[in-house]
Structure 1
Amino acid sequence: MTEVQESKIAVVTGATGGMGVEIVANLVADHHVYALGRDKAKLEELVAAHGEAVTAVEVDLVNELESMESVLPALERVDVLVNAAAIANAFSVETARVEDWRSHMDLNVHVPAELTRVLLPGLRAAEGTAIFINSGAGRGGFGDNVVYAATKHALYALADGLRKSEHDIRVSTIAPGPTDTAMFQGLNGNYDKSHVIAPVEVAKAIRAVIDAGPTTQLTEVQVRPRIELADRN
């Protein structure tokens, strides 16, 4: 694949998901976006919507985990990396099996770790920003959703370690609460859209992180609904 020469480059995983589509739409205003996802039809919709501002990369990141260098062209600079791809299936310690732990850890932790490692030279060259999409589950334990929560705890450790060791880039964790996405619907199908976060608001939070002044970095942004779902009961 030939690299698209643009003044700013963004790479977004999970680009065809509910949050990912909005993240891409926000970033194309001033970036060329490499949109990574498995859904070919939705990737084509992104290209149709944004034209030459988007390069679609159809890829199963877990399958490419050990050959991540082949996923993208050699990018001389990466101004923004958004690790948004994730899986969330409800398991307790009792119901989860080894394959459940592995599938969640692979996509939610191992993929962002490896892709970030591969793109570090470009991030350093651009003094770019690496963003990890976490979750409210990353700061609490959930007995009936322990596998997903554990991966998000691990993702915090990954982001914190990267930030403390890589002083040439900025690192941020953005942790949305319940958001109107297919993933959340799979966990809790009985919700009112007006009670949860609109995906576009997560994209706006990412924009705030990217546009922060050069002498600072927003290391953690919690994005919560106006009224917590538990407080509505």
Structure 2
Amino acid sequence: MTSTPTLAPYKAEFLQASIEGGVLKFGQFELKSKRVSPYFFNAGNFYRADLLRAISTAFAKTIIEASSPIAVTPLEFDIVFGPAYKGIALAVTTVDKLAHLEPERFGKICYSFDRKEKKDHGEGGNIVGAPLRGKRVLIVDDVVTDGTAKREAIEKIRNEGGIVVGIVVALDRMETLVAPGGQELEDKTSAIGAIRREYGIPVLAILTLDDIIWGLRQNGKEEDIRSMEEYRAKYKASY
């Protein structure tokens, strides 16, 4: 049985804020994949100031950790990119928090996001914020479901001349991909694992399913813990 012995304080604080703020819920939820999940994470619910502060802090500290000079392969980037729509607020607030926490390193970091539809007047274009051409771009978003939205974001950035250097998401569900229509695949690859292999870039997460189960063990209902462990055992990816 997989377990997480401890969590970094910022991860534990983010997990607690997600539960208390109703962002992370437990019960029965039908996913896009048609699986029935014992939990649901909705980053769109981080609309309250204290919750927005919690997620921006968690993103910033995850990025700072990954870009540390002592990391095996330090993450280096010029722009934080948020795919429309949920990613927009994440990119803007993460850049602000990075600059606040480490102004010498990140005081000049920029943000960008895309439009769903190309603007045909004014300055026009598909991108709002810093120009992407020739820049190293880090994508931030809520989760990777089947990878479609992240592939679209990568292609948009590349079409603008940007270089995607990585992706950071709020949650890694750690589960296998599902075929269109909900059929289970023999390949036990996760959506995150598929993106890593396809593009050769790191995909990081603030929290994983293992982290959530760890948090529940500290102060959760036995029924929720059992349901989460059964779900993990049934669908956990090999990566």
TM-score by length of 1: 0.38
Structure having the larger proportion of residues in strand: 2
The structure number with the bigger radius of gyration is 2
TM-score by length of 2: 0.37
